[in-house]
Structure 1
């Protein structure tokens, strides 16, 4: 038991750091969501993604504390990414859409409720952003018509925001 005392203390400190980091990140996401008036479901999804990433880092550090060699951990993570990469290769657009949604959430000029024009030479879309989901941007073009656009396509288009 005496040999594990340092590892137990380090693990407890890591748990405290995880809890504090989680609360701080949750507040930052809440503030960003309120500042840019994002829909509650969008904020909830971002919180889940951040929580998952934080948990993965926690598990990795915990494994290092309890004696897993860094080389073994790197080999395991590389193998895991290889398998996941091959699994998602056929579904690359899914990963692209999720990444695009995160970028739109934190760095794009448009918000839900903004009136926009998507400048495209083939098919110009004008309307109001109704929702920004994980995979799609929903644009209300008329009273009963909506256009659904994949997030990665939205990121590639020029968007003109119309002041209301």
Structure 2
């Protein structure tokens, strides 16, 4: 056992440091994300989802760091990564919509000016009723739950919330001078 320790002393020390740094980054990142969520009055479920995403990213970073610490040959790892990315690329090409919605969900967490309970107007000509007012009921990883004025639940993809113009209903109502149908 002592021989094993002496032979891999630097790698073991690097691994321990890597784990400590990752644990500290995970703690600080989660604390920061929760603080941003609390200050922005963001739903706790959304905050936990973003914490999970950051944890997954840090885990991937940690695996890469451990590979470098233990000195895996770059030619071999390059072959493995290129094979894995080729398979993932083909699989994800079919699922680009899901990835774009997840990415949009993360962006919306940090920069979406609206929150649950706000009344919004989506300027999208493809929607059935283009002047409809929606109430945000929930913001999920892939889509946003909107309630129409007639009570019908409507889901709208996160990536379209970034692509289409969205305004607060009170601002829209003041501009047209109509608040009677709400």
Q: Do Structure 1 and Structure 2 share a fold, with TM-score over 0.5?
A: yes
What is the aligned length? Answer: 164
Aligned-residue offset at 1:46: 1.0
CA offset digits 1:69-95 (Å, max 9, x no partner)? 234334433332221111121121111
Give the TM-score, by structure 2 length: 0.82
In the TM superposition, 1:104-143 aligns within 5 A as 104-123=108-127, 124=130, 125-142=132-149
CA offset digits 1:29-57 (Å, max 9, x no partner)? 10111111111111111111111110011
Unmatched tracts of structure 2, length 5 or more = 172-182
Which structure has the larger Rg?
2
- The equivalent of 1:92 in structure 2 is 96
Which has more strand, going by share of residues?
A: 1
Once the two structures are overlaid, the 10-residue window that deviates more, 23-32 or 89-98, is 89-98
Q: Is the 8 A contact 2:133 2:169 kept in 1?
A: no
Unmatched tracts of structure 1, length 5 or more = none
Match of residue 68, structure 1, among 66, 72, 90: 72
Runs of 4+ in 1 over 6 A off after TM superposition: none
In the TM superposition, 1:13-162 aligns within 5 A as 13-123=17-127, 124=130, 125-142=132-149, 144-162=151-169
- For residues 71 and 132 of structure 1, the distance between their equivalents in structure 2, rounded to whole angstroms, comes to 43
- For residues 161 and 73 of structure 1, the distance between their equivalents in structure 2, rounded to whole angstroms, comes to 50
SS of the equivalent of 2:148 reads strand
Give the TM-score, by structure 1 length: 0.91
Are residue 9 (structure 1) and residue 13 (structure 2) matched?
Answer: yes
